[in-house]
Structure 1
């Protein structure tokens, strides 16, 4: 078994796992474009990516279950989808510094594949699988904790539309669905601004502006929720 090159040792330090079988890490970094001969997909990161997708989902699901003991299944599912989506995995790959270590063919290198989101996301999952195969579930859990924990505790984008949150809040209090009113429009045709109000019986209306009616409605719903003291972590 060959020893990791110095740059891979640096990568191991960054991801927090020293491989007993360094070839697993090499395979996780190998794009199909650099593989010659038969069965190139088998000798690229693609099989590892398949496994890593499921290992990541399992670890993140366990983290969510433990971190949010009061969350219902729907919320847990939304959080899981946010954490394992392509954009999130690509961001993790950048945090790991995987791009410079990718093994790519000349064409892919020239086309900027080291920064391509889909490739980075796949390689992040492949690295999760490589760590899992090399060190077992505890090692994979440690890796996911290291790079996904902050995203789990502070989502990068809304998990739910504030209009949906407000409708559920109203329904839970026996109120009809929120009603949205167009109040006015200002600004030039190429950059309009819409003002919208949201009404619920017996409660003060909330108003907000937006570059489209839909955006203004979401902003009005978010303003209503904030005024009523509803947790707005998931709102836009």
Structure 2
């Protein structure tokens, strides 16, 4: 015989209270909060109606796009749309949301099926990020847009403040590609110019060129990061020429 959402609220009363303290918001309808913590594996095994958090996750995904987008729009009013989109993506991708979930120890409160529980599902980024979206969806349903925005501000703005430079320069390759395509209808080229060090600690040197001119170079332990460094250097080199 299965259980119900109401039964789960009674059984998890202490945990639900603790989580509300952690997020700084008290739910009027605890069913919304409880549902956001139910993984599909638990629902299929234990719940009478089989309801789980994926519908609230869908809503929360949209709420996060809107609220994070608004925060970035206000924070960087002169920034181009393409870069704003990439920064938002870096903040609300699976890893970013899983990190925010870990900040509030969300995994502790999740209800998982036996298999997921045994395989350390409480710390899987995929499960944590989905649950975080479901939590935001629940908060939006319970308190409306203003409460959802306040929550997102509380947990995302410190991260933006601490990592603003990295976020703004994130995915420099895309920014350089966009800039050159827009101005010249042509993209840059990346060349591997050197490899050094032992196999377990290789360092790669990459140079980025455009129409035969060297724009910048990078050196890192992966080709991907070296290319990003080269692209950032190119953007810095090109900045005085823009206008």
Structure 1 and Structure 2 fold alike (TM over 0.5)? yes
1:15 to 15, 23, 29: 23
1:151 to 137, 159, 167: 159
1:47 to 27, 39, 55: 55
2:65 to 54, 57, 69: 57
Partner in structure 1 of residue 219 of structure 2: 209
1:103 to 91, 111, 128: 111
Query: How far apart are the structure 1 equivalents of 2:72 and 2:137?
Result: 20
Query: How far apart are the structure 2 equivalents of 1:30 and 1:97?
Result: 15
Query: How far apart are the structure 2 equivalents of 1:169 and 1:27?
Result: 45
Partner in structure 2 of residue 219 of structure 1: 229
- Structure 1 unaligned segments of length 5 or more: list them: 232-236
Q: Normalising to structure 2: TM-score of the pair?
A: 0.74
Shift of 1:164: 4.9
Query: How far apart are the structure 1 equivalents of 2:86 and 2:176?
Result: 17
Query: How far apart are the structure 1 equivalents of 2:155 and 2:194?
Result: 45
Query: How far apart are the structure 2 equivalents of 1:218 and 1:7?
Result: 43
Query: How far apart are the structure 2 equivalents of 1:99 and 1:116?
Result: 9
1:127-206 → structure 2 map (5 Å cutoff): 127-153=135-161, 154=163, 160-166=170-176, 184-187=194-197, 192-197=202-207
Q: Secondary structure at the match of 1:80?
A: helix
Tell me the alpha carbon deviations over residues 163-216 of structure 1, each in whole angstroms, 9 at most, x when there is no partner. Answer: 554566678898x97676665554456755444555679x99755434566654
- Structure 2 unaligned segments of length 5 or more: list them: 1-5
Partner in structure 1 of residue 3 of structure 2: none
Judging changes above 3 Å, is the alpha-carbon distance between structure 1 residues 208 and 32 closer, same or farther for their aligned structure 2 residues?
A: closer
| Corresponding residue pairs, total | 227
Q: Secondary structure at the match of 2:71?
A: helix
Query: How far apart are the structure 1 equivalents of 2:183 and 2:54?
Result: 49
Judging changes above 3 Å, is the alpha-carbon distance between structure 1 residues 129 and 206 closer, same or farther for their aligned structure 2 residues?
A: closer
Judging changes above 3 Å, is the alpha-carbon distance between structure 1 residues 17 and 225 closer, same or farther for their aligned structure 2 residues?
A: same
Q: Secondary structure at the match of 1:18?
A: coil
Query: How far apart are the structure 2 equivalents of 1:49 and 1:131?
Result: 11
Q: Is the 8 A contact 1:82 1:159 kept in 2?
A: no
CA RMSD, aligned part only? 3.5
Q: Normalising to structure 1: TM-score of the pair?
A: 0.76
Q: Secondary structure at the match of 2:219?
A: strand
Structure with greater helix share of residues: 2
Judging changes above 3 Å, is the alpha-carbon distance between structure 1 residues 229 and 20 closer, same or farther for their aligned structure 2 residues?
A: same
Shift of 1:73: 1.6
Tell me the alpha carbon deviations over residues 8-47 of structure 1, each in whole angstroms, 9 at most, x when there is no partner. Answer: 212111101011111211111111222235652xx11111
Tell me the alpha carbon deviations over residues 112-132 of structure 1, each in whole angstroms, 9 at most, x when there is no partner. Answer: 110111110011011111111
